Amino acid sequence: MKFSDILRTAIFALRGNWMRSALTSLGVIIGIAAVIVMVSVGQGTQAEIDKMVSGLGSQRLDISPGARRGPGGAVRASSASFFTLNEGDVDAIRNEIPEVQYVAGALRGNTQVIYAENNASTSWQGVQPDFFDINSWTIDEGESFDAQDYTGADKVVILGETVRRTLFGEDSGIGQTIRLGRVPFTVVGTLKPKGQGGFGQDQDEVVMVPLQTARRRLMGAMGLPAGAVMQISLTVANAKDLSYVQGEVEALLRQRHKISPGEEDDFNVRNISEIVATRTATTRLMSLLLGAVATISLIVGGIGIMNIMLVSVTERIREIGLRMAVGAGPSDVRRQFLAEAMLISLIGGALGIAIGIAGALLVGRFSDLPVALNGQVIGLAAGFSVATGLFFGYYPARKASQLDPIEALRSQ
């Protein structure tokens, strides 16, 4: 038989009981649509994590204070126990670990920023020069702090885009005087906007002042230990050096803080790349689990095709016998039933792909889940539908081709 004859016969057979054929393809439709939607959500989440990584910096370490413990493991209650890092630690890291590219200490807090009748409640950062490079901040208008600003505790400020827009609208605000709390500051620059961060926060709702200015003008009442900082951040030029640098930093700080062997550190080192790697692995695992669940539903749909085709063989035994009696060979019968199974699978696959794409777009539009449609996934789903028809349709087709024509004609 010609391929066109086989295809025409298969279409005629499926049209003869179209409702059963439609219900049979439903399993394949649901399975492929589920694969596309779930994998698209998984890949969208992965892309979102990659975006967050680029914002955090995969070649970066953040060091924060830890509680200083006294004899017996009790936490000391003095103010020094909560500010265990200082500018001397920053200088030591810069001078003694050559693999470090940038390093900066910082102080931070919250305040009310006021200009004329406009005001905003925002966070401030007291920073050292390398802070801008570590956090990928660039100046949009005006200029950055100069050496005198850092050493002289000058009352100058750089505004994030959200704060600038709240205070000055369309004006840059350069040269204007604003108040942070009760202290007047001169605006010398504005930062290029970054937008929303990886954790949903507005990165542009911030103001920057020199570290010494923050210590003397904004935190004077807190009685900080001399030179104390709340955080030290650093980056390395080569990501391969990050683990080595982390070990060197920990050893250096233990030595500077006179921590004996066996005692707990009075600081915490956070390796961004390790956190990101853990989250990435977790997301990948969840994507695989979602894909596995969707694949199971596709296999169930394939089993449904096999079941219906076996029923069809049983119902059409006399038809098979007649075909063989007029000259059709076992291969012709096998190809006919295999073509029917393939048609059911292909039609179900096409509808499943269309529904899957529409479903993924709807999920991305009406929910907070990130979605990334991938042509390779859609192609894989199409290939899977073909494979389903071939795999689950072969056994019923083979069984039909092995029927004895005489016994088939005797069947009622």
Q: The tokens 């205070």 sit on which residue?
A: 167
Average pLDDT over residues 314-333: 71
Q: Do 291 and 261 share a structural domain? A: no
* pLDDT, tens digit (0-9, with 9 covering 90-100), for 76-131: 544 445 788 999 999 999 999 999 999 999 999 999 999 989 988 999 999 999 99
Q: Do 173 and 78 share a structural domain? A: yes
Whether 3 shows a pLDDT value over 60: the answer reads no
Whether 214 shows a pLDDT value over 70: the answer reads yes
Provide CB contacts within 8 A for 408, sequence distance 6+. 317, 318, 320, 321, 324
Q: Is residue 271 part of a domain?
A: no
Enumerate the H helices of 153-256 as residue ranges. Answer: 161-168, 211-213, 242-256
pLDDT at 192: 93
Q: Which of residues 209, 239, 265 is at a domain's end?
A: 265
Q: Do 282 and 177 share a structural domain? A: no
Q: Do 366 and 283 share a structural domain? A: yes
Whether 178 shows a pLDDT value over 90: the answer reads yes
Q: Is residue 369 part of a domain?
A: yes
Q: Highest-confidence range of 17-26, 308-317, 361-370, by mean pLDDT?
A: 361-370
Q: Which of residues 239, 265, 291 is at a domain's end?
A: 265
* pLDDT, tens digit (0-9, with 9 covering 90-100), for 27-60: 778 878 888 888 888 778 777 766 665 555 568 8
Q: Is residue 140 part of a domain?
A: yes
pLDDT at 395: 75
Q: Do 353 and 242 share a structural domain? A: no
pLDDT at 45: 75
Q: Is residue 195 part of a domain?
A: yes
Burial class (CB in 10 A: 0-12, 13-18, 19+), 25: buried
Contact 94, 103 (CB under 8 A): yes
Average pLDDT over residues 376-384: 78
Question: Whole domain around residue 231: which residue ranges?
Answer: 67-265
* Residue 28 to residue 376: CA distance in whole angstroms: 19
* pLDDT, tens digit (0-9, with 9 covering 90-100), for 54-78: 555 568 899 999 765 554 554 454 4
The domain total for the chain is: 2
Q: Which of residues 206, 236, 265 is at a domain's end?
A: 265
pLDDT at 85: 92
Give the number of C-alpha atoms closer than 13 A to the C-alpha of residue 275, restricted to the C-beta side: 14
pLDDT at 79: 42
Percent of the chain with pLDDT over 90: 31
Antiparallel, parallel or unpaired: β 100-115 and 177-180: antiparallel
Q: Do 204 and 81 share a structural domain? A: yes
Q: Do 201 and 136 share a structural domain? A: yes
pLDDT at 197: 63
Rg (C-alpha) for the chain, rounded Å, is: 34
Q: Do 208 and 149 share a structural domain? A: yes
pLDDT at 78: 42
Average pLDDT over residues 329-345: 77
164-175 in b/e form (b: 16+ CB < 10 A) is: bbbbbeeeebbe
Antiparallel, parallel or unpaired: β 60-65 and 183-191: unpaired
Q: Is residue 49 part of a domain?
A: yes
Q: Is residue 59 part of a domain?
A: no
* Residue 377 to residue 290: CA distance in whole angstroms: 14
Q: Provide, for the chain, the percentages of residues in helix, strand and coil under a 3-state DSSP scheme, each rounded to the nearest 5.
A: 60, 20, 25
Q: Do 253 and 122 share a structural domain? A: yes
Mean pLDDT of the chain: 80
Q: Do 386 and 332 share a structural domain? A: yes
Q: The tokens 């995969």 sit on which residue?
A: 58
Q: Taking CA 30 as the corner, what is the angle to CA 24 and CA 36, rounded to the nearest 5 degrees? A: 140
pLDDT at 223: 65
- Place 391 in a pLDDT band, splitting at 50, 70 and 90: confident
Average pLDDT over residues 174-191: 94
* DSSP category for residue 295: H
Q: Is residue 203 part of a domain?
A: yes
User: Out of 91-95, 211-215, 360-364, which region has the weakest mean confidence (pLDDT)?
Assistant: 360-364
* DSSP category for residue 145: -
Paired residues of 235 in beta bridges: 60, 102
Q: Is residue 60 part of a domain?
A: no
Q: Would you call 178 helix, strand, or coil by DSSP? A: strand
Whether 279 shows a pLDDT value over 80: the answer reads no
Enumerate the H helices of 185-271 as residue ranges. Answer: 211-213, 242-256
pTM of the model: 0.59
Q: Do 155 and 74 share a structural domain? A: yes
Q: Do 292 and 153 share a structural domain? A: no
